[in-house]
Amino acid sequence: MKYPIIQYNDRMSALHPFSGVYAAAVTPLKPDFSPDLDAIQPLLEILARRGCHGALLMGTTGEGPSFSPEERFTLWRSATQARTGLPPGFRLLAGTGTPSLDETVTLTRYAFDLGMDGVVVLPPYYFRKATEEGLFLWFSEVIRRAVPAGGKILFYDIPTVSGVSISLDLLARLKDAFPDRFAGLKDSSASQNQAQALGRRFGHDMLILNGTDRLFTEALQAGASGCITALANLVSPDLRKVWESFLLGAPDLEAQTHLNSARDVSERYQPVAPLLKGLLALRFGFPLWAVKPPLLPSPVETVELALRELEAAGSLS
């Protein structure tokens, strides 16, 4: 699928260089739960071909917290080596957050050493009652010790999973302290109010990548610069249509409706990682990749039912 060149306009000039549509990519796994490195390039190629500007590797959908540092390094290395087969400018982000400060520093530093374009960092999610001052100190140490000049770090705000919420004041403080390295956040709060509050507070001064397909149009209108979503593994053409139509000043409501329907389906058949792996196998002929315990594969009947529902809703193209 080819995408038109967007004409330069005021909306586009206000966007961050990392703006666009990103897939929170699944992690291809062999039956023994080790990364299937041979599958990395084909997966990234199909994401790029279907409209993604980049991919987040080892995020929530990629089961990142289930992998050792060595497994993450191996997968990121394979992804950076796969760049030769990808369109110029396809960006690679690494999920590097852990509850350990030192491990997060090591993962983040190594991701940049390998040539990843940026990192998306969960807060230290074990200590759910950490103070704002403690979170500022933790992120400051990660940035000082691991993010090079020109490197970009995003806070990963997913409070329903991490149990840690981020305040707008803390985001502003990190941006003020590290204006060239703290880029912004992946907003997976799934909150309409949060999307609007981020826009009111930061506008286009901070990179905001929305994590909820259902809110994508609204988040763009509020000031977001793009998205990182699990469903981009499957429905990136509609995400790309929403993004491009926003830049042209004419929201694509039909594409957004397709995204809403796809989100409804995915929420009925949680968890999403095994569901997506099953759907990718049926839809694109990939192997049925394993998921890492404690996750279990989605039953075949569930995947087939979800596929029929997505097709009936017009959410697959």
Cα–Cα distance between 129 and 37 in angstroms, integer? 38
**Lookup: tokens for 126:** 């074990």
Q: Phi and psi for 68 in degrees, rounded to 5?
A: -75, 160
The one catalytic residue among 22, 125, 156, 269 = 156
Pairs from 106-113 (Cβ < 8 Å, separation ≥ 24): 106/69, 106/146, 107/69, 107/72, 108/142, 108/146, 108/147, 108/153, 109/145, 109/146, 110/69, 110/73, 110/76, 111/76, 112/146, 112/147, 112/148, 112/151
Residue 58 has, within 13 A of its CA and on its CB side, a CA count of 34
Q: Which residues lie closer than 8 Å to 178 by C-beta, 6 or more apart?
A: 140, 143, 147, 153
The one catalytic residue among 60, 96, 98, 108 = 60
Active site residue 125: no
Cα–Cα distance between 195 and 189 in angstroms, integer? 8
**DSSP H helical ranges for 62-191:** 69-81, 101-114, 132-146, 159-162, 168-177
Active site residue 22: no
Peptide bond into 287 cis (omega under 30): no
Active site residue 292: no
The one catalytic residue among 22, 80, 125, 186 = 186
Active site residue 152: no
Q: Which residues lie closer than 8 Å to 84 by C-beta, 6 or more apart?
A: none
Cα–Cα distance between 125 and 129 in angstroms, integer? 9
**Lookup: tokens for 53:** 């500007």
Radius of gyration of the chain (CA): 18
3-state secondary structure (DSSP) of residue 273 = helix
CB 20 within 8 A of CB 226: yes
Active site residue ranges: 60, 126, 156, 186
